[in-house]
Structure formats: structure tokens, C-alpha cells
Amino acid sequence: MARRKPEEPPENRERWLVSYADFITLLFAFFVVMYAISSVNEGKYKILSDALGSEFGAARAGQPGPDTIPLITPQQIASRKRSEAIKRERIAMTQMARNLQKVLAPLEKEGKVRVTQGVRGVSVEINASVLFAPGEARLSPESDQTLRLVATVMSEDEHAIQVEGHTDNLPIANALFASNWELSSARASAVVRLFIEAGVDEKRMSAVGHAATRPVADNNQAEGRARNRRVNITILTGIPDQVVEVPTSGPLPAVAP
């Protein structure tokens, strides 16, 4: 007798609804996330961040989040750049002073030359007796080598250079110069001319005569007058001076002495 075949269950034609429902759910979640991102504000950002954090794990303890990242303002960036530029400039000026001290060491030991570094830059003070005969503005042959050594150091640099002539308070009496103003200016110009001949760019140079208006010692004594008869060579620093804005009205700002 033939065995009877078992009846097959009827085919379920609604199975696609399960996949369709899952797809619709995922599509809805996608559009919710897109909407939240499209209109960002602090509240929605925090809700989304908390949701993602709870889903994928909270941030590590101590790790800075978006709200704790410090902001750097343009003023802070400019101040930092200026501080770095000032530091580099001071290092360059210090190296310049050391190089000048090295080439002028013999005269510095004799007390005829002083190399100092200050706010304006590096200054080389040379006693006039090393450079000129009394009452004259023509450089002596002995001073040529000294000044050319200084020019060798300065020619490798790009800073501006100011040469200043100074005298004592005794009035000059000769046919070449009517007063100490002409004498001090002529001596400063003579040093500038030699520097230019030695290879220093003339665009960096300036010559100033101060006569007896800026003494560094007592003019009532012979030793003081000898000290005041000098030439100052200043390599001017590139650090800009602080600028104080003057208000259009009201009291003027106080300036530190």
C-alpha cells in the first residue's frame, strides 16, 4: 500500500514585511540623526553626544571634551610671536656684543674702549684720543685698523648703526671748526665714511654730533673731560618700542619714567 505524502504548510507571503519594517526603522533613525546635525545647538549637541557616548562608551576620565578645549585668541598668538621675536633679537644682540668685545679686547683692557648692551642695542664707546688728534676730525693712522675690525663685525649684520660724536665743554678755537657742534659732527661723519669704505652698507648708517650736551663724566676735571671726548657707535636693536595710544579726550596716560 503506497505511503501518503505529508501535507506541506502553506507558503507565507507576508515575510517581506519583517525586512521592510526593519528598513523603515533604520531609515527613520537616520533622518532623526541628520535633522539633529543640521540644526546644531548646545542642547542638541549635548543630547547627541550623550547618546553616542552611552552607545559607544563614555570618554576616558580626564580626557578634555569639546567644551573644555581652550581657545587661543589672535591677540595671544600675536603676543607669543612678539615674545619669540624679542628673544631672538636679544640673543643676536648679545652675540654681536661678544664679537665686538673679542676684536676690541686689547683697547678694552687699557680702558680706551667700552662695549655695553642696553635697551637701544649694543654700544661701543671709543675714546677720542684713540681716533683723533686734539681739535681735529681726521682719523689717525693708528685708528684705521681698530675701526676696520669693528666694521668687519658689523658688515655681517643688518641692523641700523648710529655714530655719535661727543666733546668736552671747553670751547674750540681754530679755523676749521666754529664750535664743538661742528667738531663732534665732523668726527662722527669721519667714522661713518671709514665704515662705508670697509664694506658696511651706507643705508644702515647715520651720523650725529652732540657737542658737550651729553657728558658721562665731570667736565670740571681733566680726567672727566678726557672721558667725555668720545665717539659712540650703537648697533640699534630691531625690537620696536612700546607705543602708547593717546586718547582723543580726557587725561593723558601716565608714562613710566
Q: Of 29 and 206, which is predicted with more confidence?
A: 206
Weakest mean pLDDT among 39-53, 196-210, 238-252 = 238-252
Task: Tell whether 19 is covered by a domain.
Answer: no
The pLDDT, as a whole number, for residue 257 is 40
Is the pLDDT confidence value at 153 over 70?
yes
Is the pLDDT confidence value at 58 over 80?
no
Task: Tell whether 229 is covered by a domain.
Answer: yes
Task: Tell whether 202 is covered by a domain.
Answer: yes
157-166 pLDDT per residue, tens: 899 999 999 9
164-188 pLDDT per residue, tens: 999 999 998 788 899 999 999 999 9
Backbone angles phi, psi at 3, to 5 degrees: -75, 140
Task: Tell whether 72 is covered by a domain.
Answer: no
Domain ranges, residue 182: 82-236
Cα angle, residue 107 at apex, residues 102 and 108 outer, rounded to 5°:
65
pLDDT-derived band at 101, boundaries 50, 70, 90: very high
Q: Of 184 and 244, which is predicted with more confidence?
A: 184
**3-state SS class at 240:** coil
Task: Tell whether 129 is covered by a domain.
Answer: yes
Is the pLDDT confidence value at 44 over 50?
yes
Task: Tell whether 205 is covered by a domain.
Answer: yes
The pLDDT, as a whole number, for residue 205 is 95
Task: Tell whether 215 is covered by a domain.
Answer: yes
11-31 pLDDT per residue, tens: 666 666 777 788 888 887 887
Task: Tell whether 190 is covered by a domain.
Answer: yes
Task: Report the DSSP pairing between strands 205-209 and 161-166.
Answer: parallel
Q: Which three cell numbers stand for residue 109?
A: 683692557
The pLDDT, as a whole number, for residue 23 is 80
CATH at residue 171: 3.30.1330.60
Q: What's the alpha-carbon Rg for the chain, to the nearest Å?
A: 40
pLDDT-derived band at 248, boundaries 50, 70, 90: very low
In total, how many domains does the chain have? 1
